[in-house]
Every structure is written in structure tokens, then in C-alpha cells.
Amino acid sequence: MNSAKRTALMIISLTLWGLVGCRDQSTEIAREAADRQARQSEIIAQTAQGASENARRLVEEESRARRDLILAQGKLQEERNRLLENWSELELSRQAAIERQRRWAATETVGASLAAALTALLALGICWRVMAGQGSSAIDVEAACWLFEHEASCDARTRRLASNTSIDTPDLTTISGELS
């Protein structure tokens, strides 16, 4: 039985040695796993901290970008308002210029019509005087023709006549008085 005791002791020893040896390997494996887990936890913590820092920076940049956008929109609205005011002023100025042109054209048309009417009346008056026989001399007829041609051909003098300014024309009464 010695040999059976020996065999039993050897089996027990080998089992104990195996258990002790296995425990050392499992402890070492557990330690390595714990170290890896700790490193992974540190990396995850650093990543989480970096992510939170990046998220904070992103929020700050987005906030800054929104403020800049709001300021730009305000400036744009001010510029639009200023352009609308300038456009309104320009439109009023344009309408006033059109109204001035209309009035000027109407005044010019009335002035030209009045000058033409006065010229026609003057011509009729001269013709009536000549035909009525008041001082029917050859000089009166020549003076009347000269006066008619002079007034009809000179637009500037016709306008002056319409505005009651003096024109250097011979006076028919003085001419007929000198001839008599």
C-alpha cells in the first residue's frame, strides 16, 4: 500500500501543484485583464473628456456663429431700410422732375401759341391799318412788311414780344409822321 499511498500522494501533489500553478496563471491573466480594463477605462475617459471638450467648443462656436448671423441680419435689414428710403426719395425726385417737365412743356406751348397769336394779330393789325387807308404811303407798306417779316422769322424776338419786352422795331407812327 505504500505504493498506493505514494500514488495517492503524488496525485494529490500534482493536483495541488496544478492548482497552485493554475492560480498563478489565472491571477496573472486576471491582473493583465484588469490592467487592460484600466487602460481602456482611461482611454474611454480621455475620449469622453475630449468629446465633451469638443462638444463644448462646438456649442460655443455655434453660439458665436448665431450671434454673428443675427448681427449680419440686423445690418442687412438696416441696409435694406436705407435703400428703401433712398429709393423713395429718388422716386419722389423723379416724379417732381416729371411734373416740372410737364409744367415747363405746357408753359412753353402756351408761350409759343401766345407768341404766334400775337404775331398773327400784329400782322392783321398792320394789314387792317394799311387797308383802312390811314397814311397809305409806300413807306408805311414797306415798314409793315419789314415788321411782319422780322417778327415772323425771329423766334427769340417772338418770345420777347409775347413776354412784353421791347423789340427794336421802327415805330409806324413815327415813320408815317416823318413822311407827312
Residues 33-47 have pLDDT tens digits of: 888 888 888 898 899
What is the distance between the alpha carbons of residues 47 and 49, in angstroms, rounded to a whole number?
5
Phi–psi pair at 167, nearest 5 degrees: -120, 140
Could you tell me which residue, 38 or 133, shows the higher pLDDT? 38
pTM value is 0.37
Q: Is 61's pLDDT higher than 60?
A: yes
Q: What is the pLDDT of residue 54?
A: 92
Q: What is the pLDDT of residue 147?
A: 66
Q: Which of 114, 101, 102 is nearest to 163 (CA)?
A: 114
User: For the chain, give me the number of helices (H) and strands (E)?
Assistant: 4, 0
Residues in the chain: 180
Q: Which tens digit of pLDDT belongs to each residue from 140-174? A: 566 666 666 665 555 444 444 444 444 444 444 54
Mean pLDDT of the chain: 76
Give the mean model confidence (pLDDT) for residues 75-97: 95
Residues 129/144, Cβ–Cβ less than 8 Å: yes
Q: Which set of grid coordinates corresponds to residue 53? A: 471638450
CB atoms < 10 A from the CB of 14, how many? 10
Residues 179/134, Cβ–Cβ less than 8 Å: no
Task: Count the domains in the chain.
Answer: 1
Q: Which domain holds residue 125?
A: 2-179
